[in-house]
Amino acid sequence: MKSSLKAISLLVVIMLFTIVAAACGSSSKVSVGIVLPTKDEPRWVQDEQRFKDALNGTKYTTEILFSQGSSAKEKENVDALIAKGIKVLIICPQDGDAAAASVEAAKKAGIKVISYDRLITNTDAVNYYVTFDSVAVGKAQAKYLVDHAKGKGQPLYLYAGAASDNNAFLFFQGAWSVLQPKIADGTFKVANSSEAVSLQATAELSRDQLSKIIGQVTTNWDANEAKNKAQTHLTAASADKKGDVAILAPNDGTARSIADVFATDKAITSFFVTGQDAEKASIQYIIDSKQSMTVFKDVRTLVKDAMGMAVSILDGKTPETTGSYKNGKIDVKAKQTNVIVVEKSNVKSALIDSGYYQASDFKGL
């Protein structure tokens, strides 16, 4: 009898342990996995909190991991999220091509993939793309330079993002479409890219032609690399490539570095320099007349669009899209978010009045 009671007691303990273990297992499951490029840039840290806030009030859970500039780490992150049973993967790739292997693993696991901000290329494993209109960003930057051009033959310095980032190509493509006619008619003369000079009569560049120019003027989205490149270009520049200059800088981090270099050269009498992302440091630079403009991409809207798309998928609905992008393998359905040009005159209306930043974040506003 005692042995029977012991056996029953042991069985009860085992059953309770199994129930608790199952409960713990189910609680560790994650609905939406998010992989972002790095914690070393303010933009992505801000995105992390916004993604968390976007799921508040829903029955779904999320886990956010950072790749820290490594495609290998990115793959580890995706594999870890797959193991946690995610149903939707939102991923901003470190390298558009390299991320293909990660999302193909997700597809095999039955997970829907949303490419966030940067397009994952050369794979059919991407279901949706949430993005700002990257071509429009480049056009806005270039239009600002054209609108502020001074006379004929003004030196134009070109800089680009990372050659591994499809967005860098789209930004430059948009900028070139606006700048090229003004290069061809002599308004601007390219000061720092022999490839751009050789292609100045070509209105629409192929991917290979874009790659050749970007290869010469890439910053790799790195402020130090941008600084070093600008110093090299100015050291090599003849007098006719100085004076009043125009500078196409791809984003705010590189814009500040490049601006700092040009500001210290006494042969540069004035410069207009573009930016992108409306980083706090660059808004202060704009207020202080050290940077000319930035393209504001309201990440709140982008996060809302991405998470709204994820929730639609989880609810068994078809997400709303507004266009598509070729990724080298398929046309990826996309939801596009508009961009806003910010300069000194509209910092308050665009960024403070909209609640994106506080007036107390800045001096001299």
108-129 per-position pLDDT tens digit: 999 999 999 999 999 999 999 9
Considering the entire predicted model, what is its pTM? 0.75
194-230 per-position pLDDT tens digit: 999 999 999 999 999 999 999 999 999 999 999 999 9
The three-class DSSP label of residue 237 is coil
Residue by residue, DSSP assigns 183-223 as HHTTSEEESS-HHHHHTTT-SS--HHHHHHHHHHHB-TT-H
Beta strands in the chain (DSSP E): 32-36, 62-66, 88-91, 112-116, 128-132, 154-158, 188-190, 243-248, 268-273, 293-296, 323-326, 331-337, 340-343
Q: What is the 3-state secondary structure (H, E, C) of 157-188?
A: EECECCCCCHHHHHHHHHHHHHHHHHHHCCCE
Q: Name which of 165, 125, 173 is nearest 330 in CA terms.
A: 125
What pLDDT was estimated at residue 351?
A: 97
What pLDDT was estimated at residue 338?
A: 84
First to last CA, the chain: 85
Could you say which residues of the chain have pLDDT below 70? 1-28
Residue by residue, DSSP assigns 268-283 as EEEEEE--BS--HHHH
The three-class DSSP label of residue 36 is strand
What pLDDT was estimated at residue 19?
A: 46
Return the sign of the alpha-carbon dihedral for residues 90, 92, 96, 100: negative
